[in-house]
Structure 1
Amino acid sequence: MGSVPARRSSEVLDGFAPPVPAAVAARAEAMAVGRRPVEPRRSASVVLLRDGARPGMDPARGVEVYLMHRHERMPFAPSVAVFPGGGVDAVDVSPSAAAADPVLACALRETAEETTVRLEADALVPWARWVTPATEPRRYDTTFYLAALPGGQEARDVSGETVRAAWTPVRQALADRGAGDLVLMPPTWSILAELTAAPDVATLLRAGAGRRVETVLPRVVPHEGGWRFAYEVLA
């Protein structure tokens, strides 16, 4: 039986040091002279998974994840690959919400709206939580859940926010990032890096059931005359 090594989310990123984009650096400089940070909006994202070792498929594909490649015109995270998700809305806190927890209700709603996949609340396993850096004008406090694609359902991109969406082997997504063919934000990269340790989806869901979810805040900090990313664990 496979297992996933227990690691802190921030530890996965120890060797991850992407350059700080010029626009992000400019916002960090503005923050340094007194600009107040925007309050982050609660949001949810679902890491939709399936096993690659299916009839007629190469078993070496391993676990696959559903990635949505966002339009370059999107105001937040343009031209990057992300998991389905979005911000908590009023409907998520209403009596008719799919779950008592608004963040969980948001995860269920956004997955259905963006992929047509309908999940039950108890099928989602909390895995990570990330907060957008204080330097950014759009900030989110996002809980990431793992979920297996339910039998008999197929994911379809109906979001209107992407250029394409597809099932991708986790190892291939990381290889594409390393080759410069895929852009990933730190939370997505960190989660994918952890998923590679599991032989199948069932192993990941078992690992998530006993996982202590940390809240990670990336910070843009001065470094050798410029700026670099650092990762702070809040809880």
Structure 2
Amino acid sequence: MAGLPLPEELVERARDVLSGRVEPVPARDAATVVILRGGRRGPEVYLLRRKATMAFAAGAYVFPGGSVDPRDTDQAVAWAGPSPQEWGEVFGAEERVARGLVCAAVRETFEETGVLVAGPGPGSVVADTTGDDWEADRLALIDRSLSFADFLARRGLVLRSDLLKPWAHWITPEIEPLRFDTRFFVAVLPEGQRTRDVGGEADQVTWKRPVSAIDLARRKAIFLMPPTHQTLTELSDFDTVEAVLAAPREIVTILPRAVEIDGQMRLMTA
């Protein structure tokens, strides 16, 4: 049977939404970043396991990412690479939203991993973000006492949008009580930087070859949501990080939908 069976706790809500008894909640703009590094057997990706207490994707292994902060869209930052307008054309978004998505991609990656895709100039990247002063800024970004634009300006840093590659666009199904309109990016771990288990929304982190993560999910050793599974499946076709970066991508919006088949509610992605 096609599609994935819906969890029991969503079945009644799905029927309510499909019948029009319940209005879908709006999807919040969000960004997620697949961090890549070269391994002995091919590219590896960085995955975080979300805490079981999280309201969204509890217990799932995911890529770093999160919602757009309204200040990400409004405040100008020093910028190198494709402009917000160009990113908007790629992702089918207004320029202001596109600016927010790219800023959120870089900001959330730093918040959740310590990896920062920015540098003192348009051709450089910060070499190390492990000091106490960096940690203080990371925590201030998380609690929103520091905006991303102010963080970059204070440190004299330029956002490197040219080091991000657009990969996909997924929207959470309308039946879900918490929804995100998420653009997926790919980025290579900058030279000299390293990921850190910084806690927060995740209780475990790991580097995995895409095919290994898929195999673990097949054996039910880890849980992957459909967008993560699909992205890992696509990345498993590449033997090198360079091949991933060189691959052409057409961004097609994917909005899984719930359908009832023979009395069973299932989630379809096509």
Residues 179-228 of structure 1 show CA distances to partners (whole Å, capped at 9, x for unaligned) of 01110111000000010110011100110xx3111100001111111111
Q: Which residue of 1 aligns with 2:174?
A: 134
* Match in the other structure for 1:112: 110
Q: Note if contact 1:25-1:220 (Cα within 8 Å) is conserved in structure 2.
A: no
Higher helix proportion (structure 1 or 2): 2
Q: What amino acid is the match of 2:23?
A: R
Shift of 1:162: 1.0
How much has 1:131 moved relative to structure 2?
A: 0.2
Q: TM-score, normalised by structure 2?
A: 0.74
Flag structure 1 segments of 5+ consecutive residues without an equivalent: 1-14, 54-59
Q: Could you say what secondary structure the match of 2:4 adopts?
A: coil
Give 1:29's aligned residue.
Answer: 15
* Offset of residue 16 of structure 1: 7.3
Query: What count of residue pairs does the alignment treat as equivalent?
Result: 209
Distance change >3 Å, CA 166–CA 173, structure 1 → 2? same
TM-score by length of 1: 0.85
Alpha-carbon distance between aligned partners in 1 of 2:66 and 2:225, rounded to the nearest angstrom = 15
Q: Distance in 1 between the 2:204 and 2:74 partners?
A: 32
- Over the matched positions of the two proteins, sequence identity in percent amounts to 41
* Matched ranges for 1:147-226 at <5 A: 147-207=187-247, 210-226=248-264
Larger Rg: 2
Deviation, structure 1 residue 30: 1.6
Question: 1:47–1:40: structure 2 CA closer, same or farther, 3 Å change rule?
Answer: same
Looking at structure 2, the residues matched to 129 and 16 of structure 1 have their Cα atoms a distance apart, in angstroms, of: 22
Deviation at residue 66 of structure 1 after TM alignment? 0.2
Match of 1:72 in 2: 52
1:17 is the counterpart of 2:3: yes
Structure 2 residue runs without a partner (length 5+): 85-98, 118-159
**Aligned residue identity for 1:86:** G
How far did 1:24 drift?
Answer: 1.9
Say if 1:98 and 1:26 are closer, same or farther in 2 by CA, change over 3 A: farther
Tell me which residue corresponds to 1:41: 28
Cα 1:98–1:140, aligned 2, differ >3 Å: closer, same or farther? Answer: farther
Q: Distance in 2 between matches of 1:40 and 1:73?
A: 21
Alignment check: 8 A CA contact 2:51 2:201 kept = yes
Please tell me whether the aligned partners of residues 98 and 108 of structure 1 are also in contact (alpha carbons under 8 angstroms): no
